[in-house]
Amino acid sequence: MSIFYFVAFLSIFFALMTIFTKNPVHSVLYLVITFFTFTIHYILLNAQFLAVVNFIVYMGAIMVLFLFVLMLLNLNKESEPIKSNLVKVMGAIAGMCMLATFLGAFRIMEVDNGFITGNADVGLVKNLGKILFNEFLLPFELSSILLLTAMVGAILLAKKERKEA
């Protein structure tokens, strides 16, 4: 249980560093470390599938893309837009909504001797595969066809037309 609290402390620390760091590249790197601590939490909570998806998709793809875009933008102090008071108020409202969601989630959790109780087999990949390929086979296959169509469309849109001489 002490590992959980240590990783939780690291998650909160690196999330705060993400918010309060002035350099956007450092902020993205702190966010990558925060996602890594989330992966450790998923492993500790016996949710291997979520851990792998978080590691591959969020840390491996999306955050590298964010870092690449930030490096290409070459942000300077002069080009940074001034944030209006409306944006700050909306951010405060969003933070309060998130706090209310957390409080509601903590209220319905069942805790027994310091441990969250529940089914131990919920996050296993084997059980997810059984449900995905038995009960939800048609929606799974339809979503794969939709993703394939989107990928082919993106390739056709990005392809440059050759001018024949």
Q: What is the pLDDT of residues 4-43, one digit of tens each?
A: 889 899 999 999 999 998 887 788 888 888 989 999 888 8
Name the DSSP class of 161: P
pTM of the model: 0.54
Express each pLDDT in 44-83 by its tens digit: 887 888 888 888 888 778 777 777 777 777 666 565 566 6
Name the DSSP class of 76: -
CA atoms within 13 A on the CB side of 141: 6
Angle at 35 between CA 117 and CA 69, to 5 degrees: 155
Angle at 82 between CA 78 and CA 88, to 5 degrees: 150
Task: Give the residue from 111, 72, 98, 100 showing the smallest Cα distance to 15.
Answer: 98
